[in-house]
Structure 1
Amino acid sequence: MRRSIPVVPPEQQKGPIEYKRQVNQANTARLRSLATQMSFRMDEGGGSCRYYIGVEDDGCHSLLDYPSVAESARVLECIARSLNAIVVERIMIQKEVVEGELVGTSLKAYEAPIFGDAAGHPVVVKEDPMLCKEPGVITRGELSIHRVETHLLDPSPKSVAELANASQGSTTMDTSNDESFSIGETLSARNIRVAVVGNVDAGKSTLIGTLITAALDDGRGKSRTAIMKHRHEIESGRTSTATTHLLGFRSTGEPVTGRDAVRAKRKSEDEVARESYKTVTLMDLAGHEKYLKTTIHGVSSGFADYALIMVNARQPPTHMTQQHLNLCCSFGIPVIVVFTKIDGCPEHAYETCRKEVTKMLRSPEIGKKPFKIRNEEDVVTVMDKLHTLAPMFETSCVTGEGITLLQKMLFSLPKRRKHENKINRKFEFLAEDIFNVPGVGPVVSGFVNAGELHVGSNCNVYVGPTDDGSFMKTVAKSAHIARINTTHITAGQSACLAFALNKEMRKKLRRGMVVLKEDPFSTREFDAEICVLKGEGTTIRRSYQAYVHILNVRQSAFAKSIEIVNNSIGGVTRSHYASNEENHIVLRPGSRAKVRFEFAQRPEYVRPGMRMLFRDGRVRGVGIITSIPEATAVN
């Protein structure tokens, strides 16, 4: 019988299609290699791939019989399940070759996948009675494989070991430990947000890269290049933008890393979310003083549950470390101190650094008690005392020292912000970035601060305010969470929304806008109760102009009026905090006052209860918005 019978074009090295002559009973090493190959094909196909079984690499028919092709298909389906994927279509093709010649007609018979659908339920397929399952009948097969959106199987290497047993003839796999998780819950109720701050060259991006990829650094910036976006950041090694990265954990506390033994490429965020029980959003913020405005905005609008204060153990903490520490404490964010580059660090240098940090933490402005973490028992001990204690870790991204303990800490951290309590409030989406996606239109990424939204053709929303204070009425067409398409977003989630806007409206989109479902309004003025931070001498009086941060809003504003708050404490009189000379009130460090601010450029959306921060170079004070003057509100 002639064997060179072409049935499909030759196999391509790249793309979502793979040819297999036959997959025999294999050991763990062989299955791991096949899993890596399948993962690559799915990456090439955007989550889907197709396997041709009983076909040579040159596209010729392998002339196998039905039992050989069926066994190969079963092993490939086992491998797909280990990669959190399912077989959505299984076809057996017969009567294609007769007496060694290719004929024009053939029999295509559909079969049910062995392991059912994404939830494990059997798939009912009407079998073709013409399909012959006896040995000797020339057959080839086709499998369509697709990644699912729920965590059904453990994708760690031990699953491949289980496949080695399954490939010996068993058609069932042990799924007793499988758990089905809602991605929406994983990315909201079981997601904590951690701001990573510290002085330049403290190793912030390197630590995040090590946690995300589970690969140790080489001491020359290997880990940080995995997460940096811009060329100038990679070349200089310094972060200039605020970026977020997703770290996932399984229910056992094992991290879902960006790479594993069967990955050809690093996992994307949607894959990490699908495989995770709990997620940690790490916000990489700039450390250089030149980018302090970006860092303040990241902390202000990031809704961080906790903050990692990164300190280079080889040198004393700088004034920027103090600035970042004050910034986090001003927003009431519990801090965790991480000493980096501990490998090869002289003992005296580390002791000097540790004492300086301890002094900072114990200062009256911070009021934290340092607590060194030595083992997992210490992690459990400190967990419910984070409002008074500041855990301290010693880490090295080169040797891996302290990384496991830090991962344990991140997994154990309780969610501090209860966004689920704000679901019944009016929908409020804070816009952080604007994109124009070809074929989709304008896309806005941001954070759902309150309420919930069901997107679709009937979902009317208001986007604004524009420069004149008005809002644009439009339709929220679609939404993505961690690159996963969804029709419902809720409070506590980071999401992207696509809008139906014309060309003129697109030009008006900017950062700092909000998306509302009802009652849109903007204002140029607002009243706030502020506290001037202690530190370098500064005076604040009427017409004082500062840069104001209110969640995602950042704009210059000036003080129109000031009213002193009488906070006489411990016998300290009001005159200690302020002086009134010729009816001009002057605020000094430690003063509290009610101030009416006016935005310098355009109206913004702010409401009572929002926390604010103002600065003129360095952070000068914090406060909370108390009211919006009705006369200045723009409806």
Structure 2
Amino acid sequence: MEALNLNVENTSSKKVTKLPPKISPKHKRINVLEEYKKRNDNKVALNLVVVGHVDAGKSTLMGHLLYLLGEVNEKTMKKYERDSSKIGKSSFAYAWILDETGEERARGITMDIAITKFETEHRRFTLLDAPGHRDFIPNMISGAAQADVAILVIDSTTGEFEAGFEANGQTKEHALLVRSLGVQQLVVAINKLDVVSWSQDRFNEIITKLSPFLNQAGFKKDKVIYIPCSGLTGENLLKRSQNILEWYSGPTLFQQIDKFEPPIRLLDKPFRLSVSDFFKGGISGMGGITVAGKIEAGTIQIGDDVLVIPGGEYGVIKGLEANDESSKWAAAGDSILMTLSGLDILQLKVGSILCSVSHPVPVTSYILAQIVVFDIKVPITKGFPVILHRQSLNEPAIITKLVTILDKSTGEIVKKNPRCLPKASSATVEIKLTNRPVPFETYKENKELGRIMLRKGGETIAAGIIINILSYNS
């Protein structure tokens, strides 16, 4: 997405008129930035998403790695082996570490985002195992929106890589989606090489086909690393046998993900959290409403007032869990649970934004966006209906105007008021939501909340950034 031209005017947030609640009970204020620095001096926290075509072996690969790291005890692993053998699916045992529901285990596919924690020498990871099946792409988008870095799992067996990479496969779509959502660092795990006798030729063939596409998708060559491995045998996950991978001298999967660089966090921006889930009841049995999500910008601590957009309802933070640990504060990049008091649960929806009372997020149903059109079958025209995705939010919308076609390299205008947008084009368009106004920010204000994706008929047709908000709602 580097080619997107971001020289746009700043847009100011409209202030809500509802008065805030009475001042929250006094808590001893914490210097969150100081505490954040102390925490990250030890190990940097990163959100890692694992994506790839259905049956590429994502859950088996990561489940086996977690087992080798000691995150699953021997007794539990033996139970998974027995239970999977009983239903004739013994190869699924490691996948069951992440695929927890009965339906996922029976069907042998991941249907929703599975979340697990693990650590390397220098990093603390929140692992997001995303579904590969095309029916669950919206779930995958919701999970990938929380990610800082990614592993793309490739099935190297004959015909299977081609099925995932070519017609209607999810390999291309997943790679485009994670890049569109801001992921810049990618490890490509070329899996199941044991099935093709650890063929170096097959490994190189896949890289030759995949590398130009990933480069075109916006991944820099030095930010993409290819690792040969087997999720089933465990080869080259934590260590490798010299007699199996004689031709490979690079890092193991574990060594490579330990080298992921932390992204720049928006600590100095106003607080923003996109709601991915919520429920009645508080952390550790306290009352209230609990909200789950990733902090996209700013910092918070117990006792702070927050604002729900849309709706304009206020809540007071009574409890926090950051990265699965009880905490008195949290900061940009943290995946959190937050218990709020004084809030009506009916005002919350998945995709709502919790934000700073003094700097609310704009609410709108009409935006100007700069998009890159993917490999579509039918050109995009004025009046084209789409589903707009922004993290866990998805809303029906219409492309109301094709404003310009842009040069993909320079961002300069090539054509004004085009009749249609062909595949692989870059353009500015006006988009109107058809159901309700929702919170949006421009990419210039907040890179995380300013990214969107457009889908139609079960396929992702475009991705881009919001460059202006064309009308405001209260």
Q: Same fold (TM over 0.5)?
A: yes
Identical columns (%): 21
Deviation for aligned residue 1:213: 2.7
Match of 2:208 in 1: 358
Q: Check whether the contact 2:185–2:260 (CA below 8 A) recurs between aligned residues.
A: no
Q: Structure 2 residue aligned with 1:227, among 74, 98, 119? A: 98
| 2:188 counterpart of 1:337 | yes
Q: Check whether the contact 2:404–2:417 (CA below 8 A) recurs between aligned residues.
A: no
Match of 1:507 in 2: 346
Match of 1:593 in 2: 427
Mapping of residues 542-621 of structure 1, within 5 Å: 542-567=382-407, 574=414, 580=418, 585-609=419-443, 610-616=450-456, 617-621=458-462
- Residue identity in the other structure for 2:235: E
| 2:149 counterpart of 1:306 | yes
- Residue identity in the other structure for 1:633: Y
Q: Rate the CA distance shift 1:387–1:245 in 2: closer, same or farther, 3 A.
A: farther
Q: Check whether the contact 1:328–1:334 (CA below 8 A) recurs between aligned residues.
A: no
Superimposed CA distance per residue, residues 32-70 of structure 1 (whole angstroms, 9 cap, x where no aligned partner): xxxxxxxxxxxxxxxxxxxxxxxxxxxxxxxxxxxxxxx
- Residue identity in the other structure for 1:595: V
Match of 2:274 in 1: 430
- Equivalent residue of 2:65, what SS? helix
Where structure 2 has 5 or more consecutive residues not aligned to the other structure, the ranges are 1-34, 82-89, 239-251, 444-449
Deviation for aligned residue 1:514: 1.0
Superimposed CA distance per residue, residues 330-355 of structure 1 (whole angstroms, 9 cap, x where no aligned partner): 4453322112223343467x845752
- Equivalent residue of 2:396, what SS? strand
- Equivalent residue of 2:216, what SS? coil
Match of 2:140 in 1: 295
Work out the CA distance in 1 between the residues paired with 2:98 and 2:198. 31
Work out the CA distance in 1 between the residues paired with 2:406 and 2:97. 53
Q: Structure 1 residue aligned with 2:379, among 539, 548, 555? A: 539
Q: Rate the CA distance shift 1:188–1:497 in 2: closer, same or farther, 3 A.
A: farther
Deviation for aligned residue 1:462: 0.8
| 2:119 counterpart of 1:248 | yes
Match of 2:85 in 1: none
Q: Check whether the contact 2:305–2:316 (CA below 8 A) recurs between aligned residues.
A: yes
Q: Rate the CA distance shift 1:553–1:308 in 2: closer, same or farther, 3 A.
A: same
Match of 1:411 in 2: 258
- Equivalent residue of 2:314, what SS? strand
Paired residue total: 389
Deviation for aligned residue 1:496: 0.8
Deviation for aligned residue 1:298: 2.3
Mapping of residues 71-220 of structure 1, within 5 Å: 185-186=39-40, 190-214=44-68, 220=91
Q: Rate the CA distance shift 1:353–1:402 in 2: closer, same or farther, 3 A.
A: closer
| 2:450 counterpart of 1:450 | no
Q: Rate the CA distance shift 1:510–1:210 in 2: closer, same or farther, 3 A.
A: same
- Residue identity in the other structure for 2:152: I
Q: Structure 1 residue aligned with 2:230, among 396, 412, 418? A: 396
- Residue identity in the other structure for 1:298: G
Q: Check whether the contact 2:369–2:430 (CA below 8 A) recurs between aligned residues.
A: yes
Match of 2:472 in 1: 633
Q: Check whether the contact 2:271–2:356 (CA below 8 A) recurs between aligned residues.
A: yes
Q: Check whether the contact 2:117–2:124 (CA below 8 A) recurs between aligned residues.
A: yes
Q: Rate the CA distance shift 1:501–1:234 in 2: closer, same or farther, 3 A.
A: farther
- Equivalent residue of 2:460, what SS? strand
Superimposed CA distance per residue, residues 407-452 of structure 1 (whole angstroms, 9 cap, x where no aligned partner): 111112211x211xx2221111111111223643321010111111
Deviation for aligned residue 1:327: 2.4
Work out the CA distance in 2 between the residues paired with 1:569 and 1:248. 39
Work out the CA distance in 2 between the residues paired with 1:559 and 1:187. 46
Work out the CA distance in 2 between the residues paired with 1:407 and 1:486. 28
Match of 2:86 in 1: none
Work out the CA distance in 2 between the residues paired with 1:190 and 1:425. 20
Q: Rate the CA distance shift 1:201–1:591 in 2: closer, same or farther, 3 A.
A: closer
Bigger radius of gyration, 1 or 2?
1
Superimposed CA distance per residue, residues 286-327 of structure 1 (whole angstroms, 9 cap, x where no aligned partner): 01111122212322x21x232211112223312221222232
Work out the CA distance in 1 between the residues paired with 2:64 and 2:396. 38
Q: Structure 2 residue aligned with 1:486, among 300, 322, 327? A: 327
Mapping of residues 8-23 of structure 1, within 5 Å: none
Q: Rate the CA distance shift 1:298–1:541 in 2: closer, same or farther, 3 A.
A: same
- Equivalent residue of 2:92, what SS? coil
Q: Rate the CA distance shift 1:281–1:608 in 2: closer, same or farther, 3 A.
A: same
Work out the CA distance in 2 between the residues paired with 1:454 and 1:243. 27
Deviation for aligned residue 1:620: 1.2
Q: Check whether the contact 2:193–2:230 (CA below 8 A) recurs between aligned residues.
A: yes
- Equivalent residue of 2:380, what SS? coil
Q: Check whether the contact 2:363–2:472 (CA below 8 A) recurs between aligned residues.
A: yes
Deviation for aligned residue 1:595: 1.4
Work out the CA distance in 1 between the residues paired with 2:272 and 2:124. 23
Higher relative contact order structure (alpha carbons within 8 Å, sequence separation ≥ 6): 2
Q: Check whether the contact 1:362–1:368 (CA below 8 A) recurs between aligned residues.
A: no
Work out the CA distance in 2 between the residues paired with 1:367 and 1:512. 26
Q: Check whether the contact 2:371–2:428 (CA below 8 A) recurs between aligned residues.
A: yes
- Residue identity in the other structure for 2:276: E
Match of 2:32 in 1: none
Q: Check whether the contact 2:382–2:402 (CA below 8 A) recurs between aligned residues.
A: yes
Q: Rate the CA distance shift 1:223–1:305 in 2: closer, same or farther, 3 A.
A: same
Q: Check whether the contact 2:50–2:152 (CA below 8 A) recurs between aligned residues.
A: yes
Deviation for aligned residue 1:387: 4.2
Superimposed CA distance per residue, residues 344-370 of structure 1 (whole angstroms, 9 cap, x where no aligned partner): 43467x84575245313224863799x
Mapping of residues 59-74 of structure 1, within 5 Å: none
**Please, what TM-score do these two structures have when normalized by structure 1?**
0.56
Match of 2:124 in 1: 279
Match of 1:476 in 2: 317
| 2:464 counterpart of 1:623 | yes
Deviation for aligned residue 1:185: 2.3
